[in-house]
Chain A
Amino acid sequence: MPYIAIVDDEEPVRKALKRLLVASGFEVDSYASGAEFLATQRQPSPDCLILDLHMPGMSGLQVLDALKGSGRELPTVIITAYDAPELSAQCRAAGVSAFLRKPLDERVLLNSISSSLARATAGRGDPSLRR
């Protein structure tokens, strides 16, 4: 069962996405901020990270930088409640798998997660085997 981490400061959004992904067959953990996520030492690392772009404190891009800095790069789907063209370009430059605008269409979200997982699998082997 692929393991997904959700990082979003919005509690209702976090809770609803976790519910949706659990109902879709994923194992899910959620975090209220980038700092909380980075501080967690849970192993193994998530197979895919659903990361909110605009959060108080650390932004999604800063979380990505921190992950990169600590050598923990993860397949990441960026989600944002406000879209601007330059943001999408910045995120893609930071190596994210997908950039999605809220509200999230379930099919697009699941496809993005699947693509991220497939890309990661192609690079690192089957995540389910690692668990």
Chain B
Amino acid sequence: MDSDSTAPQRIAHREGRRWRLPAMPDRALPALAVALGYYLAAQLGFLLTLHPHPISTLWPPNALLLAALLLAPTRAWWWLLAAVLPAHLAVELQSGVPIAMVLGWYVSNCSEALIGAGLVRTFVPGILRLDSLRNVGIFILCAVLAAPLLSSFLDAAFVRMLAWSDAGYWDLVRSRIPANVLAELTVAPLILTWAAFDPSQLRRVSVARCAEFAALFAGLVLVSVAVFDRPAFAASPALFYLPLPFLLWAAVRVGLAGTANALALLTIVVIWGAVHGLGPFAAHAPKEIAHEMQLFLCAVAVPLLLLAVALEQGERVGRDAHEQRRQLTHLSRVAMLGELSGGIAHELNQPLTAILANAQAGQHFLANKSAPPGALAEILQDIIVADQRAGDVIRRLHTLFKRGETQFVSIDANELVREVLAIVRGDLVMRSVELVTQLGDTLPPVRGDRVELQQVLLNLVMNACEAMSAATPPGSRQLTVRTRIADGGARITVTDTGPGFAPEEYEQLFEPFYTTKPQGLGLGLSLSRAIMRAHRGRLWGSGSPGKGASFHILLPAFHAQR
């Protein structure tokens, strides 16, 4: 289908050259967005101005410009500052302000954003992310406090110099600071957190979480409107704290982004009420209204922002620690592969030998036409069985060594023991270790990550084998693996006939980097204990020198943990 808009393209093609939009510099689009945002923010600032004596309660354009500078590379700042000039002129000239004053305010507004962004960037190079207490602290000190304070001296000087107001210099300074501090506290974090938002995260948000967000913000708006947008006589100062549970809910459950959004909502509701003569602040004189309201909102915003980021930081530290433990656990498993390589080769070469010898025997029978009845069918069946055995070895190893998320499932402790013993079977044979298994009947199922529990058990078995290989003559090497019900759960005990340890040495064995092996890293048992803790289970050792060592795993029953 042709349309008018495609006509130039068709003409251009006919003329033998491509028609395209004139190239737009990379910075033009963000600059346009900032200019538009500045214009709308200024209009919002006017809407939230107290009348009849115009007192600004919240002045968002400066905070918006500051946030834009914090998100932009320093070399692009001049471009953004230039872009907001037309927006500034468009807003201010509409209200009949003389051009000199308009330009004076442009300079003071830009200076506020520049001071704030410059100071923040001095301490936090690069794009500011409000993801640590340090960064939020620097943001509050530099952008929220220092920038409005310092720029207000300049702003008041312009106003006095151009005789725009009769108010005294210090009165002008005092009245400008809170509106800008409040804007920096509420608007800038809102923009910075939205800029850091990754839309792909939305796919991972569950329906329950969405419902929680909806309940949180609906509750906050309802309560805030009920407290701050009712007639002044009906609003009690004691009700100021009604939105606090919702704000804390946002800080605890949604983090800094949720808190920034909640604070912005609260600020708009509170100021809208006051501007319209509603809420607990409306009973005061206009100047007091602005002052009290700004003080209240700042007093709420600062601790909440700090609380939210502290909680997020703590959660991230916990997540990082968990991830590091997971990586270390996986690395330790991979390192175990080296120790198991001999046994693995042994276990794979057995079925391969059977397959090859069977196939060659079959070739002989076919070449000589000498196959006994049914022999070829039997050979093929044996090849299939041997091949499946080799496949099982590889599958078990793949399961053990692949990297995956921890998955807690119901596990049969006896099955776990059998799986691990199948992996180490070759090693036991090679080390001339006699295996004794005493698996208890009717063990309760336990809850755990199969791979991690295999790793723990494998570590205990390999340690036992190494201890015996080093100090026990071949005929006396015996590994006993027992399972039984204990404390309502399942207990697995691995006992060797190695040299054992002194009773006081057992706890040392679980310390990181403590090892009795010449080539050991000393991480196996400490990681195993960490894994057992994550399973709400226990791992400990017992025995005495010369009588072998026993290591015990206690896993709580599956139902006990739900």
Interface residues of A, Cβ cutoff 8 Å to B: 9-10, 12-13, 15-17, 19-20, 22-24, 54-57, 59, 62, 79, 81-82, 84, 101-106
Contacts and interface: CB of A to CB of B under 8 A. Distances in A.
B346 A104 contact: no
B358 interface: yes
B342 A12 contact: no
B429 A103 contact: no
Nearest to B375: A19
B345 interface: yes
B508 interface: no
A59 B477 CA distance: 13
Nearest to B352: A103
B350 A55 contact: no
A22 B370 CA distance: 11
Interface in B334-367: 342-343, 345-347, 349-358, 360-361, 364-365
B474 A59 contact: yes
A81 B434 contact: no
B344 to A, nearest CB: 9
Contact of B346 (A12, A54, A56): A54
Given A82-B342, A82-B426, A82-B430, A103 B356 contact: yes
B353 A102 contact: yes
Contacts of B364: 20, 23-24
10 contacts: A16-B357, A19-B375, A20-B360, A79-B353, A81-B347, A81-B426, A82-B346, A102-B353, A103-B353, A103-B357
A57 B434 contact: yes
Given A24-B364, A82-B430, A102-B352, A13 B345 contact: no
Interface string B235-264: 000000000000000000000000000000
A45 B34 CA distance: 98
Contact of A20 (B343, B346, B347, B361): B361
Contacts of A101: 349
B432 interface: yes
B264 to A, nearest CB: 68
A106 B434 contact: no
Nearest to A57: B434
Contacts of B379: 19
Interface of B: 342-343, 345-347, 349-358, 360-361, 364-365, 368, 370, 375, 379, 382, 385-386, 389, 426, 428-430, 432, 434-435, 474
B353 A82 contact: no
Name the residue in B347, B352, B430 with the highest tally of chain A Cβ atoms < 10 Å from its Cβ: B430
A9 B429 contact: yes
Name the residue in B345, B353, B356 with the highest tally of chain A Cβ atoms < 10 Å from its Cβ: B353
Contact of A103 (B349, B368, B389, B430): B349
A96 B541 CA distance: 43
A12 B349 contact: no
Given A16-B361, A23-B365, A55 B429 contact: yes
B342 A84 contact: yes
Given A59-B432, A82-B426, A10 B360 contact: no
Name the residue in B347, B386, B429 with the highest tally of chain A Cβ atoms < 10 Å from its Cβ: B429
Name the residue in A16, A59, A105 with the highest tally of chain B Cβ atoms < 10 Å from its Cβ: A16
Given A23-B368, A56-B428, A103-B356, 4 more contacts: A12-B354, A16-B386, A20-B361, A82-B346
A59 B434 CA distance: 12
A118 B349 CA distance: 29
B374 to A, nearest CB: 13
Name the residue in A13, A19, A79 with the highest tally of chain B Cβ atoms < 10 Å from its Cβ: A19
Contacts of A23: 360-361, 364-365, 368, 370
B354 A10 contact: yes
A70 B131 CA distance: 79
A69 to B, nearest CB: 15
Contacts of A17: 353, 357
A13 B360 CA distance: 13
A79 B355 CA distance: 16
A17 B385 CA distance: 16
Given A23-B370, A59-B474, A81 B361 contact: no
Contacts of B349: 81-82, 101-103
B357 A13 contact: yes
A103 B430 CA distance: 17
A16 B345 contact: no
B350 A13 contact: yes
Give the 9 A-B residue pairs with the shortest CB-CB distance, closest first. Answer: A23-B364, A16-B357, A81-B349, A12-B354, A19-B361, A102-B353, A20-B361, A103-B352, A102-B349
A22 B347 CA distance: 25
A103 to B, nearest CB: 4
B390 to A, nearest CB: 11
Nearest to B347: A81
A16 B360 CA distance: 9
Contacts of A59: 432, 474
B429 A12 contact: no
Contacts of B354: 10, 12-13, 15-16
Nearest to A105: B356
Contact of B385 (A12, A22, A55, A105): A12
B193 to A, nearest CB: 59
Given A54-B346, A54-B429, A81-B345, A15 B356 contact: no
Contacts of A103: 349, 352-353, 355-357
Nearest to B433: A56
Name the residue in B354, B365, B368 with the highest tally of chain A Cβ atoms < 10 Å from its Cβ: B354
Contacts of B382: 12, 15-16
A15 B355 CA distance: 11
